[in-house]
Every structure is written in structure tokens, then in C-alpha cells.
């Protein structure tokens, strides 16, 4: 890469220890996790000496330091340790096929609160639309009005309210089955 190595890198060679750079891919399952959570030192017998994030360098990171996509980890270990670590780091990438990716696509749909709906008289929070159905209410049109309102979390639903929601297809279907 042509980058200048730290001074201690030369001394490490005498002990069969090397400093190698590993780029964290955008799809890495390590992204957002702390070094403590990943436990790389114990699992792979390597040490993260530094994390390069853009033009910023975090030397001797603590266990609470989180890894982010596109970070460069400067890792110390023997050839064997670094080779094993490289293999694991490569496998830590989330891969999604097109079908799986499409399955998780967010959709915007609406439903009408029917006269027998269990949601009548209950608020968005009480209905558990987010927690139970993994959907987000993005707007409500009150019965007889043609105005889309920002949802009020504590306002009760009324019969014939039109509720606009965002969610994955399967979650929306579960919500719609229950909401009528």
C-alpha cells in the first residue's frame, strides 16, 4: 500500500509477529459491535493495535471501541494467526441473494379500520403495531376527511380511519389479517 508502518513493526518481525491491515466490508456482521463483543484477541489470538477510520486513527483501542464499515483494523499476530483471522474476517460478511433482499423490501400500504377491528378505541402504542407487527404507522386519515395527518401515538383509532403503514410484506399481511 506504500503507507509508512509504525516503528514497532520492524521489531515485531524478529519475533515472527506481523502487523497487517484488514478492511471491514460494508456488509460485515462485525459492524456496530465493540471489540469486547467480538472478542477477537481470545478467539483468534490476535491484537487490534489500531483502527483507521477515514483520516482518524484510534491507537490502542479499548474493548468499548466499536467497529464500523470501511474501518481498517491494524492487527498483530503470527503468520498463522493472521491467516486464520483473515479467513474469519472474510466470512463475517453478510451476503444476501436477490430473492432474500427483495423479501425484506419495505412497502407502503394502507388499511381501513373496520367496524369489527380490535384496534377501534385503542392508540397506535396500545395496538402494538410496531412491536407486534414490525410495521410503522406513517399517517392516518380520519373517517370522512381527505387529509393525511401525522400519526398521534396516543390518539385512539376510530371506525373507517385509513391507516398508512410501512413494513415488510409478510409483516404487513399479518397486520392486515388482524386489523379488520
- Reported as a single tens digit per residue, the pLDDT across 49-65 is 999 999 999 999 999 99
Single out the residue in 67, 91, 115 at which a domain terminates: 91
Name the average pLDDT for the chain.
86
Q: What is the CATH number of the domain that holds 128?
A: 3.30.70.1450
Range of the domain at 34: 8-91
Q: Quick check: is 2 in a domain?
A: no
- Would residue 172 count as lying in a domain? yes
Say whether pLDDT at 82 is over 60: yes
158 occurs within a structural domain: yes
Q: Are residues 83 and 109 in the same domain?
A: no
**Whether residue 21 is found in the same domain as residue 84:** yes
Residue 165 DSSP SS3: strand
Which residue, among 85, 84, 167, 94, has the nearest Cα to 133 in the 3D structure? 167
**Mean pLDDT, residues 151-171:** 92
Neighbour count for residue 133 (Cβ, 10 Å):
22
Residue 74 confidence (pLDDT) above 80: yes
pTM (2 d.p.) = 0.52
pLDDT at 1: 44
Per the domain annotation, does 112 fall within a domain? yes
Amino acid at each position: 500500500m506504500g503507507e509508512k508502518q509504525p516503528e514497532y513493526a520492524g521489531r515485531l518481525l524478529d519475533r515472527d509477529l506481523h502487523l497487517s491491515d484488514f478492511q471491514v466490508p460494508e456488509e460485515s456482521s462485525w459492524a456496530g459491535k465493540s471489540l469486547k463483543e467480538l472478542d477477537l484477541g481470545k478467539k483468534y489470538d490476535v491484537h487490534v493495535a489500531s483502527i483507521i477510520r477515514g483520516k482518524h486513527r484510534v491507537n490502542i483501542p479499548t474493548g468499548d471501541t466499536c467497529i464500523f464499515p470501511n474501518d481498517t483494523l491494524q492487527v498483530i499476530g503470527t503468520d498463522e494467526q493472521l491467516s486464520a483471522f483473515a479467513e474469519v474476517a472474510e466470512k463475517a460478511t453478510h451476503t444476501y441473494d436477490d430473492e432474500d433482499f427483495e423479501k425484506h423490501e419495505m412497502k407502503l400500504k394502507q388499511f381501513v379500520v373496520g367496524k369489527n377491528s380490535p384496534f377501534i378505541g385503542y392508540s397506535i402504542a396500545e395496538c402494538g403495531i410496531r412491536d407486534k407487527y414490525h410495521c410503522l404507522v406513517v399517517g392516518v386519515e380520519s373517517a370522512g376527511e381527505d387529509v393525511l395527518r401525522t400519526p398521534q401515538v396516543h390518539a385512539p383509532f376510530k371506525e373507517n380511519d385509513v391507516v398508512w403503514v410501512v413494513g415488510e410484506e409478510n409483516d404487513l399481511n399479518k397486520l392486515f389479517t388482524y386489523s379488520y
